[in-house]
Structure 1
Amino acid sequence: MSDRLDDLERRIDELRAGVRKAMRARDAATARTLRAELRTAERAWDTLVSGQDDPAPADGSPAENVPDETGRGAEARTRAKGAGRGDGPRLVTVREQVHQALALLDAPAQARLIVAVSQAFFAGSIRSPQLTSLRRDEERSFRASPYGRPYYLCAALTDRLSPARGLLTVSTWPAERRVVGPLSPRVDFLTCAVRVARHLSGLPGSLPDGNRLLARMARNIPGAGDDAFGPPDPGRVIEAARRELRVHTGRDTRDRAELAKRATSQLDEAAGLFGAATLSTVAKGRSTRVMRGGR
């Protein structure tokens, strides 16, 4: 067992280093693959330490409840597993459920959208109030042990480099995707709509909750809906969303690149993920020190 643990720990260290290297090189495809392998290896380590049988493979084979690039297949694998053995799906933590939803959306998202995606596609059980303290918990964990986890759920950063209210991202995303400019909310909404529509179009059957979610999103995209009853057409939603994205993406990309450059040059690692103190907070802290006789 000791040799097996040593091998797994070495593999985990190698994978973490590989993820960081891929993200620095902005190689998103390689980073996604390595993160999936890393999660599998960490589950195998947990299983071995707890003394359970049948640890998860650490060779990079697909793990339960881990979405691929489009989030496709995770729910199907979970349901198939439960149906074959007569039991339910593996319990997934709130943190993992949020990460699943964000991996599918691939853009900063509000709590209500994260919850809706999790429930529609992954049979999630999270509720919006549970996400309130999640980012603070993630920040405390990062500050206690930087990069001790394969990913952190962190805040999107505003043009003041402070945390955007209610917007969650993933630490392994490039900095340009973790900042938001004036046009970013609209661009991210359209991006999320495309991702949801693509995911639905790839499923073998109908998914009522997913269709309802896409229908709500389509109502806010000109030309995405129609007057017919029934589920929305994912192809039409994708076409309409991309048509509007072509109008906004250029400006938004430039704004985000500038913000990302500022964040990288001005913030330390923790603030680069979770946001810097606002000017009002800094001013309040300074006034408090002056009242106490400090400098």
Structure 2
Amino acid sequence: MSLDDILAHGSSFQTASETLRLVLQRVSVAGLKLHPQKCRFMRKEVEFMGHRLGGRRHQHTAAPLYHLLQKGRGFTWMPHCQQAFNYLQKALTEALIGCLVQMFFIHSIGAFQSTLLVWMALDRYFAICTPLYYHERMALTRFLKFIIPLVLRNVFMDSLLVSLAGKLSFCRNVMNHCFCEHMALVELACGSTAINNLVGLMTVVLIPLVDFIIITASYIIIFSSVPKSGGSGVKALQTCVTHIVVIIVSLTIALVAFLSYRIRNGLPAESRVFFSTMYVLFPNCFNPITYGIRTAKIRQNKSVK
């Protein structure tokens, strides 16, 4: 016979000690043994089944609701009970809303990074393959047809992702992550998350994967047109090196972050948090350095010539 968890609490050190003494006495009488490394004593807060119990954040506010459930007391719903219920409901729902808002902006930033690489690939395509019409093609009124559809796609998919996550029922309220990430939040849900996983997969396919296909197609055309353009095309192609490096790094991190939640194989939770954090932070820190180094080299070569 084995027991998973035993919780003993008290409102003071004396009552907690007395409760603990009774629990240990019952365990001894039953002939059970406790694992020393799993025992925690005199904690102000404990995490149990995904919930953080204890603390004083809502202790006094929830007291009227707690007294309703005490043995020997009648269940009478008073105005102060309704006030306590409204306060706790507001605190829990606002926390979820704040998490969903943060999730939307974080995923929007990630989608924008991918879409920005598409716009840069189109810029290189027009500059190398149609240099005489570059300014005409890159005019704002004409380039908007490449901007607006991709922006609407990103906003729609991110909004759908967040709205479906907000409709879930959660069994736990402790997220093992440093920010509100979609898969980390979905893991806290009680019921089926098949639709959320499907929409998450669709988001990956429709944003980074489609962007990667567009970028790859544009560079295939660019590379095929360079031999025909002679030396000027080769010089123009040198400006694409930085863009290609940024694409490889960004998409590699995005792929690793995505697979870390789909393919577990004993991967520590800290590793998943690290990869998903790098997906947001690393491109923003790495790209300026890459472009800065490359621009300095181009300027240096021009000054030497």
Provide the TM-score with structure 1 as the length reference.
0.24
- Structure with higher Rg: it is 2
Provide the TM-score with structure 2 as the length reference.
0.23
